[in-house]
Amino acid sequence: MKIKRYKKVHKHLNFYINNFGFRQPYQILLDGTFCFAALNNKVNIADNIPRYLQGELKLLTTQCAIIEMENLGPKLGGALVILKKFPVHKCGHEGKPVVASKCLLSMLGDINPNHYIIATQDRDLQNNVRNKVGVPLLYLHGKTPVLEQPSEITIEATKSKAEGLNITERQKIEKLKLESGLVEIETKKVKKKKKKGPNPLSCKKKKSKPGVAGKVVKNTEEVKNKRKKIRIPQHVKEILFNKDS
Ligand SMILES: [Zn+2]
């Protein structure tokens, strides 16, 4: 590795050590997109990433990230094998998995208390990580690992304590917005499902029977089942099924 690159990564890591209490072994949370890119570029994560970060690491993933890759089918079997090699950290979604990006983001909480470094090629997740204070972002640029420079919001937060508080508040608001956005989306999905219910014409003959309540229950069950499945975001599919990325 070129000395310039080494100095850069050293500087960024020191920033997180001094301002946010990061310590070795650094905990790296990986998702399937990162493993997929590593496989395509013949990057051995367990060898190259510790060498790049010049330190002790714990390479980790979550059950949700694994389930997402499993759902994507046999084409991604190679990346799945790599992902499964890493220890799985509890994410709180056991039994009710969510998409990997949402899962990893939830692992960070408001202030990234576990000092995770996020390793992903998922652009949406990358942007969400940049909007959080004190979360280093790692990705592959071709064969080359890159620890991105601390995001603007992170640098702002460290400038003064008072400002830091404001930024944390802003973070919380952003988080609430995001959450309410997600709630809206889910409500819409549920509404759609209800519209798709049994054809009213076919139910004409069955007049006021207790079956009405039964129907409602059935619908709720359907909705529940639907929501248990993970929907892979389109942009993630694009990353994963586009070999050039
Ligand atoms: Zn999870």
Q: Which domain holds residue 123?
A: 1-245
Packing angle between helix 100-108 and helix 63-71, nearest 10 degrees?
Answer: 170
139 in Cβ contact with 245 (< 8 Å): no
d(C-alpha 138, C-alpha 146), whole Å:
6
What are the C-alpha distances in Å from 120 to residues 7, 161, 199?
22, 30, 44
What pLDDT, on a 0 to 100 scale, did the predictor assign at position 53? 96
- Judged by DSSP in three states, 193 sits in helix
Q: How far is CA 84 from CA 16, 89, 116, 131, in A?
A: 28, 12, 19, 28
CATH number, residue 223? 3.40.50.1010
What residues pair up with 245 in beta bridges, in sequence order?
none
Q: How far is the CA of 205 from the centre of ligand 1 (A)?
A: 46
Distance CA 106, CA 100 (A): 10
Residues of the chain with pLDDT under 50: 162, 183, 185-193, 206-218, 220, 223-224, 245
Q: How many domains does the chain have?
A: 1
* DSSP states of 66-120: HHHHHHT-GGGHHHHHHHHTSPEEP-S-TTS---HHHHHHHHHTTT-TT-EEEE-
pLDDT given at position 189? 46
DSSP 150: P
Inter-residue contact 26 to 59 (CB < 8 Å): no
User: 91: burial class by Cβ within 10 Å (0-12, 13-18, 19+)?
Assistant: buried
Whole-number Å distance, alpha carbon 227 to ligand 1 midpoint, is: 15
Residues with CB under 5 A from ligand 1 (ion): 62, 64, 91, 93, 103
Q: What's the CA-to-centroid distance between 165 and ligand 1, angstroms? A: 28
pLDDT of residue 190: 46
Ligand 1 centre from 208 Cα, in Å? 43
What per-residue confidence (pLDDT) applies to 217? 45
Cα(197) to ligand 1 centroid in Å equals: 30
Phi-psi region of 96 (alpha: psi -120 to 50; beta: other; left: phi over 0): beta
Task: Give the pairing type, strands 116-119 and 26-30.
Answer: parallel
pTM of the model: 0.70
Looking at the DSSP assignment, which residues form a beta bridge with residue 145? 140
- Taking the alpha carbons of 180, 184, 185, 189 in that order, is the dihedral positive or negative? positive
pLDDT for the residue numbered 219: 52
How many whole angstroms separate alpha carbon 38 and alpha carbon 58?
Answer: 17
